[in-house]
Homo-oligomer: A and B are copies of this chain.
Amino acid sequence: MVEKEISQAVIARLPRYFRYLGELKDEGVERISSQELSRIMNVTASQIRQDFNNFGGFGQQGYGYNVEFLYTEIGKILGIDKTHQLIIVGAGNLGQALANYMNFERRGFIITGIFDINPELYGKTIRGIQVRPMEEMKDFIKENNVDIAVLTIPKSAALTVSCQLVEVGIKAIWNFAHVDLQVPPQVQVENVHLSDSLMRLSYMINRFESGKK
């Protein structure tokens, strides 16, 4: 069977479905129809059914979708049922903030190491995790089966570090550095370009003001 390719648009929507279903589950809602969900989430019922059907039939005619089942299934699709070992590269403000953000662990993303080039930080612990020198990073990844590297370093350092990560076979990079990384296709990259996001907001303010005046 040829697996049909899932579009980026669908993938981008999955975490949002997951979040709403989690909330419904917590509220004790047992079943939900695409129409009801569409009302809550502000999307069309048609889109919801199309999206879910990319992964097979999760619903039942005349009944709707079982919330708990659907939640679990989407979790599996997102790979949230597995745990991931991750390291934080760059123990600056953002790196420390992410390390301190507990909620990722709840989803199975375990921070196993933090690395920095600044010797003053070596040995400092953040949420019980020691900051290590960059030189140890490659060996650490190999020895601890790290799948994900979080890049919270300046753009000037990002290229060098990403090459090192690729060399030791990292599976994925969560990139907060403001550059587009060039990595081979077996390495997954998700960019979080905060300044791009802020500029989009600036654009929206600008556009609204010049449009309404």
Contacting chain B: which of A29-37, A58-66, A78-86, A115-123? A78-86
Q: Are A195 and B104 interface neighbours, CB within 8 A?
A: yes
Say whether A174 contacts B203, CB under 8 Å: no
The interface residues of chain B lying within 8 Å CB-to-CB of A180 are: 16
Residue A138 interfacial (CB < 8 Å): no
Complex Cα–Cα for A79 and B199 (A)? 8
B12 pairs with A171, CB closer than 8 A: no
Q: Which 5 A-B pairs have the closest CB atoms?
A: A79-B206, A93-B97, A15-B196, A97-B97, A188-B204
Seen from chain A, the residues whose Cβ lies within 8 Å of a Cβ on chain B are: 3, 6, 11-12, 14-16, 18-19, 77-80, 82, 84, 92-94, 96-98, 100-101, 103-104, 107, 109, 147-148, 171-172, 174, 178, 180, 186, 188, 190, 192-209, 211-212
Copies of this chain present in the complex amount to: 2
Inter-chain contacts of A6 with B (CB < 8 A): 207
